[in-house]
Structure 1
Amino acid sequence: MDDLDKYIEKRKKKIPKFARNYDDGYEQFKIGALLKEARISAGLTQEQIAAKLKTRKSAISRIENHAEDIRLSTLANYAKALGKSLRLEVA
């Protein structure tokens, strides 16, 4: 565990609201990061995926960088545009 991880864990223990907000924010960030990684792996630019989804590059950027409150149908359409399927898991 590096210094940043130690700091985050320390704050999470001291401030419950920080812990909740951090964990929620991380999950939203992770969704966007996974979408971006899948797009890059497919060899597509934001402009190309936007064209497939009939939207603008700015909308794709917003999805990849701020995936909060993203609709399930948007996730499914994004995956389909990449030639992939969406798989959800409740753990």
Structure 2
Amino acid sequence: MTTRVRMLSGFNHNLKHKGKIYHIQTEDGGKDNPQIITHAFLGGVILDTVRQPYGDLLLKPNWQDALRDRMKAQHLEEIRKLFSGAFDAQTETSSEDD
């Protein structure tokens, strides 16, 4: 019998920055597509996407713990980008009513 390894649960945060609500989402692509994918959204529009492969972790005995740590780090980095103003120029003309 084979043990089926499921994708790890991701992270989702709604964050207010300069009067707008952004959504940051990080997810695991799974063993068949080993990459961490993080999106930054505003009003359903993707502002930024970060993809990081993690095939290097799959050979480690504690790969799921290492993957979880890497996912957290990538998610927090996207939050830092948001609050540092990295997406401000893209969203200056957007209004909350759009």
Does TM-score exceed 0.5, indicating one fold?
no
Greater strand share, structure number: 2
Greater helix share, structure number: 1
TM-score relative to the length of structure 1: 0.31
Question: Structure with the greater relative contact order (CA < 8 A, sep ≥ 6): 1 or 2?
Answer: 1
TM-score relative to the length of structure 2: 0.29
